[in-house]
Amino acid sequence: MAQIIDGRKISAEVRARVKAETEKLKSENIVPGLAVVIVGSDPASRTYVNNKKKACAAAGIYSEEYALPETASQEELVALVKKLNGKKDINGILVQLPLPKGLDEEAVIELIDPRKDVDAFHPSNVGRIMIGNYRFLPCTPAGVMEMLRHENIEVRGKNCVVIGRSNIVGKPMAMLLMHADGTVTVCHSKTRSLKEITSSADILVSDVGKPKFVTEDMVKPGAVVIDVGMDRDENGKLCGDVDFENVKGKASYITPVPGGVGPMTISMLLKNTVTAAKIQSGIRV
């Protein structure tokens, strides 16, 4: 039976460290600040933004929310990002994705000051991740790596398989596992013999967005299974990409949904915001 990796517990430890760092910075008259931009009224996005605001308050991080209507133009969004780039009390800028149709996400991301890009989506930060000389990491992959470290799960020399190649999770996840000396295979919708590949993985990370996509026969006995998915099953119940009940008897470690990777994402955002405040204040990180 797999050991459950408790994302809520690990997240609480990260947030405690962030709060301690924030208090130390405040003693030096540095107040980390985060601006969150939301366009439209997507319920999931609104929930995420509300959770981020609460997390900032609990950690002592100053936060501002900018809510634009669904009808906001590209020009309005561009003007707002430029304004936030120039605000000295704002160290991190997060534009909640996805944006409504008609808005150019790529252009908006490229406009964010790379030093304030706490999502680590700007091309210059992506390039830094590629070469291993990064300041920030995308929050979800960074959260996964924190979980592996917390559980003393060795990546070096392991066969790692990532299902999904998104810019937000799949690609950076593969790079971080590679930087940790894992041997990495990235699978996607065009991958042939998927089951053969996944069943050889010592560490399997899934981010495909399909309920219970990863079944027991896709998992190697004793594998570490990390479920990044956030889906709904046939009964509308929250679940992940992994068929948890059947896979947990085969894996050595497994993350649940909810309560696994999800809580880590916001915690790593807080950590990135504090890092950004240090960088912009000339403090070595």
Contact between 20 and 28 under an 8 Å Cβ cutoff? The reply is: no
Residue 35 DSSP class = E
Amino acid at 198: T
Can you tell me the distance from the alpha carbon of 137 to that of 263, in angstroms, rounded to the nearest whole number? Answer: 16
Closest to 251 in 3D by CA, of 282, 210, 215:
215
Contact between 134 and 117 under an 8 Å Cβ cutoff? The reply is: no
Q: What is the CB neighbour count within 10 angstroms for residue 53?
A: 16
Which residues, listed in sequence order, are joined to residue 65 by a DSSP beta bridge?
A: 36
Positions annotated as catalytic residues are 52, 96, 119
Closest to 36 in 3D by CA, of 261, 264, 270:
270
Closest to 118 in 3D by CA, of 271, 278, 261, 280:
271
Q: How far is CA 123 from the centre of its chain?
A: 17
Residue 113, CA distances (Å) to 56, 108, 110 in order: 21, 10, 8
161: region left, alpha or beta (phi > 0 left; psi from -120 to 50 alpha): beta
Can you tell me the distance from the alpha carbon of 128 to that of 259, in angstroms, rounded to the nearest whole number? Answer: 30
Contact between 137 and 179 under an 8 Å Cβ cutoff? The reply is: no
